[in-house]
Chain A
Amino acid sequence: MLSIDCPHCGQRDETEFVCGGEAPTGRPPPDASDDIWTDYLFGNANPRGPVHERWLHAFGCRRWLAVERDTVTHRILSVRDFADAIGHRP
């Protein structure tokens, strides 16, 4: 069971959350090539190790969170409100 430390609600079980997948990279400009759009729409880093994700605290504060998580150890490395994380993501 994952335990995610929501910045608003505190430590909660994974069943309260919905994983929204990998945090998106920047949206390409409209005239970007098909390859770039294809990768933006479908491509994933899908790393074995740390990954930046979006999680929705669906049965809690209903805020979107920016979660850094290790896909091998399942360790949660950091949790921030998504609004705070925008622009700060490494």
Chain B
Amino acid sequence: MSRRYSALALFRNSLTGNRDWDPVWRSPEPKPRYDVVIIGGGGHGLATAYHLARDFGVPRVAVLEKGWIGGGNTGRNTTIVRSDYYYPASTAFFDRSVTLYERLSRELNFNIMFSQRGMLTVAHSRAELDWQRRLVNAAQLAGVDLETVTAAEARRLCPILNDSSGMRHPIVGGMLQRRAGTVRHDAVVWGYARAADRLGVDIVQNCEVTGIDRDAVSGAVTSVRTSRGVIGCGKVGVAVAGHSSVLADMAGFRLPLRSFSLQAFVSEPLKPVLDIVVSSAVLGVYASQSDKGGLVVGGNADPYASYAQRGNMPAAEAVAAGLVELIPAFSRVRLLRQWAGIVDYAHDSSPILGLSPVPNLYLNCGWGGGGFKAIPAGGETFAHTIATGEPHPLIRAFSLDRFRSLALVDEAAAAGIEH
């Protein structure tokens, strides 16, 4: 039976009670040694393994995941995909990622449900309008489809927005990226896992890396110690998001990162009411409506370092207050679920990608609250970097070295909110 997913396969499997589907990926025992070990089975780790096998023919690749794949931030995020960044290095990278997302369902033969419903970011003051115009100009120069909209257009795009009467910070306009939207997060994980598995990548779950061994003379990585034994490796790619400092500590260096809890919320299901992603940096909130009808709501991270993966009430209250101010009609909606992921931020809120101080150990981290949109380009460029030992041109600006040369890519000021 064909292993491709198709309407015909759906039909055929329905005849046998859907009992004959192949497992989406194997669960092999770890081998004693791999050419490349990727630590972290989130979107970035799995996409990297896929590209290592597909683009560079690396024969023995493993992804080691301490829990279950997609159980980290990739399975906890609010799934907004956009490329409205400010600096040229960022727009080039993130727009590549949006472009790759646009064809990913076909490429992976897995429906990732990319819904390009557009994203509206409202502005609440003259100063913010000016700032948005500057951002829009920068994005347009970089070829990104970002545009400004008037207050009336914003209301037409999202009629349930607060009508501004009595609003402390009235909505005076906004900016819109039409190609932006949402993606089914688990599908990205499972789609890359399935494609990587079929190219021979070993996905090893319940395998926590607890130590990193280095050659006494060269300092290069030689093996990783794990909860399932020692695994030898030629090269190591670290893609563990909020736990990057913990892994760096195992390898003997420090990173310019801080880990925070970032929360998200889902409401009870509602009839279709919001067909766009809407966001406000001033109110510290953004929301979209899922296919199941729940509002998916996010805001800013809890304001102190945390590895607790749960989040605290003050940040939750701030998000709820912001949502009700942005869309008063939601004031009686009940939130069904709340959770948090541990996100790692650099000082400039840009990712850290490429070489590390340790030979043969490569970094993919610093995504903060915004690395889901980056998964396809992150995997593509990280695989290139690991395979060739040279940073991919799209990620050169995001090297760890930029802190030493003070060449920061300061998107911290640009976004104003995580997603």
**Chain A count of residues within 8 A CB distance of the other chain:** 28
The reply to whether B305 and A51 contact each other, CB–CB distance below 8 Å, is yes
The reply to whether A14 and B256 contact each other, CB–CB distance below 8 Å, is no
With A15-B314, A38-B403 given, is the CB distance from A46 to B245 under 8 Å? yes
Q: Which of A18, A48, A51 contacts B246 (CB 8 A)?
A: A48
Residues in B with CB closer than 8 Å to A35 are 404
Residues in A with CB closer than 8 Å to B249 are 45, 47
Return B117 CB to nearest CB of chain A, in Å. 35
The reply to whether B256 and A71 contact each other, CB–CB distance below 8 Å, is no
In B218-259, the 8 Å CB interface with A consists of 243, 245-246, 249, 254-259
The reply to whether B404 and A34 contact each other, CB–CB distance below 8 Å, is yes
The 8 A CB mask of B339-365 against A (1 = contact, 0 = none) is 000001011000000000000000000
Which residue of the partner chain A has the closest CB to B357?
A35
CA distance A13 to B317 in the complex (A): 14
The reply to whether B305 and A72 contact each other, CB–CB distance below 8 Å, is no
Residues in A with CB closer than 8 Å to B256 are 42-44
With A1-B313, A44-B258 given, is the CB distance from A73 to B403 under 8 Å? no
Q: Which of A34, A42, A47 contacts B245 (CB 8 A)?
A: A47
Which residue of the partner chain A has the closest CB to B254?
A43
The 8 A CB mask of B266-310 against A (1 = contact, 0 = none) is 000000000000000000000000000000000000011111100
The reply to whether B404 and A71 contact each other, CB–CB distance below 8 Å, is no
Which residue of the partner chain A has the closest CB to B244?
A46
With A44-B258, A71-B308 given, is the CB distance from A14 to B245 under 8 Å? no
**Chain B count of residues within 8 A CB distance of the other chain:** 24
Residues in A with CB closer than 8 Å to B307 are 48, 71-72
Residues in A with CB closer than 8 Å to B403 are 38, 41-42
Residues in A with CB closer than 8 Å to B246 are 47-48
With A1-B313, A14-B312, A34-B404 given, is the CB distance from A45 to B306 under 8 Å? no
Residues in B with CB closer than 8 Å to A21 are 258, 305
In B158-181, the 8 Å CB interface with A consists of none
Which B residues contact A (CB, under 8 angstroms)? 243, 245-246, 249, 254-259, 303-308, 312-314, 344, 346-347, 403-404
Kindly list 13 other residue pairs between chains A and B, CB separation below 8 angstroms, not including A46-B305, A74-B312.
A1-B313, A1-B314, A14-B312, A14-B314, A22-B258, A38-B404, A47-B249, A48-B259, A69-B304, A71-B306, A71-B308, A72-B307, A72-B308
What are 27 of the A-B contact pairs (CB < 8 Å)? A1-B313, A1-B314, A2-B312, A14-B312, A14-B314, A19-B304, A22-B305, A34-B404, A38-B403, A42-B256, A42-B346, A42-B403, A44-B245, A44-B254, A44-B258, A45-B254, A46-B245, A47-B245, A48-B243, A48-B245, A48-B246, A51-B305, A53-B304, A53-B305, A71-B259, A72-B307, A74-B312
Which A residues contact B (CB, under 8 angstroms)? 1-2, 13-15, 18-19, 21-22, 34-35, 38-39, 41-48, 51, 53, 69, 71-74
